[in-house]
């Protein structure tokens, strides 16, 4: 029997965090004549480190840190500072090598826990155990243990000191059926997948843990999602797992099958106000929760991060650069996010807080509602930032758009951050309340924008491949087939009808046993040669499959449809189906959407086998 999910053992690696940063290539070193100070300025992040001298005999140590290697280089800056008075580092106040060693202690020890008195940044900390578990350490001293079987959030502090108990998300790597990429960004790749035990279509966001910047974003996103795994206006979180082979952590998220607001305005120039209003209401509910309950600033609100499903529900995603604040009055001071939708106070490098998200939301909604971005963004980021700072705040044309919409945008785009309303206050704005009683069909609006034929074909491909991989797969996976049916499901074969999951599973298991034969060399598997589909009801799909049985151990599918990982490409196998055909089959399915978003069940199935 072919192993479908082989995993190789992964060696133990322990990476210990350090506060000190390496000197990057884009740095300049010069001597200050007045105070005999050496200045090192990093033009990449506009930061400086000052060195002053108090003893010519002191060693000058330059620290270069990579992912796993700490190199002490003593001669890099010696020639540049001879004759100066003393050496010190303004950021660390080090006194010799012994003091340096004290700074280089691990933040976390697997046996002793967190080091007492440590001031190191735990967001740059992670460990890999010899069992293949990743330990991500958060600022709140929480530990997120992630392995092939899922994610567990725990804490090193007493339970009374935290406002929530430990959480476990069972979401294993071998329970995923992956069907290729939806999209990719600078830090991650997002793929469609089916969670085998629940037959639920999900999105898998994959991030490499060995890159520091991506690891910090990963930790922020997991922490945010764990704190709000299922809240309206926010993309639902199902769990995460680690794959040792690739060094990637996969985050399992709700699959938003309508794309993003950015996708919508690419196909349809603008979104009508009566449609945009209820969409915005959901987003404000999500923002209100992030700001008022979780004390988080998203920092990257833009149309591409505002997702929509085919029911017309909008949700916020991509929490990788969110910032956690101590309370509702705290401020951020870092420059991250998309400059295009960045607020004036952030561009001026001032402290900022939740109003920065309100500005970004207002700018995104201006673009969605009017069909135009109000600034000239194609002349470079510097010119764009000058426009945001110097030009008056943009406002929709009053003779084209409703007073409610114009007022909403004007409120969000106040230059003064303190003058902007909160997300909670905006929920009672006339633009939101005006359409609360209207019966706008958001689902119909979204469905009319995207090609329903291609969406249905993709859905049929995924569900059919998923079913046949269960049928032709190992017994461990086949047990999940029972939950593919509900109590009213029917299965017809050879003039007999089975009803309900237990009866259907028993009948299918008998057919499966017959096709498997007595010896592995006798096993017959499906080769899908033709797949047709049509819409069934509002969310369902009817699928007709025809193909052949051949001797083998792996299900195969011909054609150019969606391919699943671990299924060989038929074009590369050079198999002559007619010469190997042991029989043919035709099968029809009616797949219906369940009450849970993304989950489908087989409502009706008919099988015909021809020898």
Q: Which residues lie below 8 Å from residue 484, measured CB to CB, with a gap of 6+? A: 199, 467, 470, 501, 601, 602
The Cα angle at residue 475 between residues 470 and 477, in degrees rounded to 5: 45
Determine contact, residues 218/255, Cβ cutoff 8 Å. Answer: no
Residues in a beta bridge with 177 = 194
Q: Say how far apart CA 600 and CA 465 lie, in whole Å.
A: 14
Interior/surface letters 528-545, b for 16+ CB within 10 angstroms, e for the rest: bbebebeebeebbbbbbb
The DSSP H or E segment spanning 248 is strand 248-254
Q: How many residues does the chain have?
A: 611
396 Cβ contact list (under 8 Å, min separation 6): 366, 369, 370, 405, 406, 409
CB burial of residue 307 (10 Å; 0-12, 13-18, 19+):
buried
The catalytic residue positions are 300
Residue of 161, 169, 165 whose CA lies nearest to 145: 169
Give helix then strand counts, H and E, for the chain: 16, 29
**Residues 250-260 as b or e (16 or more Cβ within 10 Å = b):** bbbbbbbbbbb
Question: By C-alpha distance, which of 324, 305, 323 is closest to 315?
Answer: 305
Please state the residue numbers annotated as binding site for ATP.
205
Q: What angle do CA 577, 579, 581 make, to 5 degrees?
A: 60
Residues 6+ apart with CB under 8 A from 321: 217, 220, 299, 300, 336, 337
How far is the C-alpha of 218 from the C-alpha of 249, rounded, in Å? Answer: 8
CA distances from 573 to 144, 178, 197, 442, 576 (A): 42, 21, 30, 45, 9
Local structure of 341: helix, strand or coil? helix
State whether residue 471 is helix, strand or coil: helix
Please give the helix or strand (H or E) that residue 499 lies within, else none: strand 496-499
Q: What DSSP designation does 481 have?
A: G
Instruction: Classify the phi-psi angles of 83: left when phi > 0, otherwise alpha if psi is within -120 to 50, otherwise beta.
Output: left
């Amino acid at each position: 029997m072919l192993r479908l999910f082989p995993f190789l053992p992964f060696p133990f690696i322990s990476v210990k965090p350090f506060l000190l940063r390496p000197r990057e290539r884009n740095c300049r070193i010069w001597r200050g004549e007045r105070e005999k100070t050496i200045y090192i300025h990093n033009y990449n992040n506009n930061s400086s480190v000052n060195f002053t001298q108090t003893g010519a005999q002191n060693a000058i140590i330059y620290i270069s840190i990579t992912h796993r290697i700490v190199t002490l280089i003593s001669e890099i800056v010696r020639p540049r500072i001879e004759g100066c008075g003393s050496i010190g580092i303004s950021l660390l106040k080090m006194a010799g090598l012994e003091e340096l060693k004290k700074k280089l202690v691990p933040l976390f020890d697997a046996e002793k826990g967190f080091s007492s008195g440590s001031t190191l940044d735990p967001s740059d900390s992670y460990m890999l155990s010899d069992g293949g578990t990743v330990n991500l350490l958060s600022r709140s001293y929480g530990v997120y243990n992630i392995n092939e079987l899922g994610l567990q959030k725990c804490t090193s502090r007493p339970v009374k000191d935290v406002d929530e108990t430990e959480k476990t998300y069972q979401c294993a790597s071998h329970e995923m059926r992956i069907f290729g990429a939806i999209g990719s960004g600078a830090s991650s790749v997002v793929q469609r997948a089916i969670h085998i035990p629940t037959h639920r279509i999900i999105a898998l966001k994959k991030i490499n843990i060995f890159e520091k910047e991506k690891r910090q974003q990963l930790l922020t996103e997991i922490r945010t999602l764990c704190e709000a795994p299922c809240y309206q206006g926010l993309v639902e979180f199902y769990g995460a797992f680690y794959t040792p082979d690739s060094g990637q952590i996969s985050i399992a998220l709700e699959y938003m099958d309508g794309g993003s607001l950015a996708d919508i305005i690419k196909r349809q120039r603008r979104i009508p106000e009566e449609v945009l209003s209820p969409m915005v209401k959901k987003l404000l509910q999500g923002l209100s929760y992030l700001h008022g309950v979780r004390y988080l600033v998203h920092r990257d609100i833009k149309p591409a991060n505002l997702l929509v499903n085919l029911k017309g529900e909008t949700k916020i995603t991509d929490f990788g650069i969110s910032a956690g604040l101590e309370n509702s009055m705290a401020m951020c001071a870092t420059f991250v996010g998309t400059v295009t939708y960045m607020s004036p106070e952030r561009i001026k490098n001032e402290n900022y807080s939740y109003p920065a998200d309100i500005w970004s939301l207002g700018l995104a909604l201006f673009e969605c509602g009017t069909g135009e971005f109000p600034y000239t963004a194609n002349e470079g980021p510097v010119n764009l930032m000058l426009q945001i700072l110097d030009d008056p705040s943009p406002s929709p044309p009053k003779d084209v758009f409703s007073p409610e919409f114009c007022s909403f945008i004007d409120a969000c785009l106040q230059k003064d951050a303190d003058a902007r309303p909160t997300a909670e206050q905006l929920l009672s704005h006339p633009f939101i309340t005006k359409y609360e009683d209207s019966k706008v069909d958001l689902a119909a609006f979204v469905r009319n924008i995207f090609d329903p034929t291609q969406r249905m074909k993709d859905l049929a491909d995924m569900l059919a491949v998923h079913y046949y991989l269960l049928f032709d797969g190992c017994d461990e996976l086949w047990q999940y087939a029972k939950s593919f049916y509900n109590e009213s499901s029917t299965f017809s074969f050879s003039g007999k009808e089975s009803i309900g999951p237990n009866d259907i599973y028993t009948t299918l298991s008998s057919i499966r046993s017959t096709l498997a034969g007595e010896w592995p060399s006798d096993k017959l598997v499906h080769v899908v040669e033709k797949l047709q589909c049509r819409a069934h009801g509002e969310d369902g799909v009817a699928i007709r499959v025809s193909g052949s049985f051949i001797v083998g151990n792996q299900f195969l599918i011909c054609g150019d449809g969606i391919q699943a990982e671990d299924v060989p490409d038929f074009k590369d196998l050079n198999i002559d189906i007619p010469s190997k055909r042991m029989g043919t089959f035709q099968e029809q399915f009616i797949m219906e959407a369940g009450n849970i978003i993304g989950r489908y069940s087989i409502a009706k199935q008919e099988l015909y086998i021809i020898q």
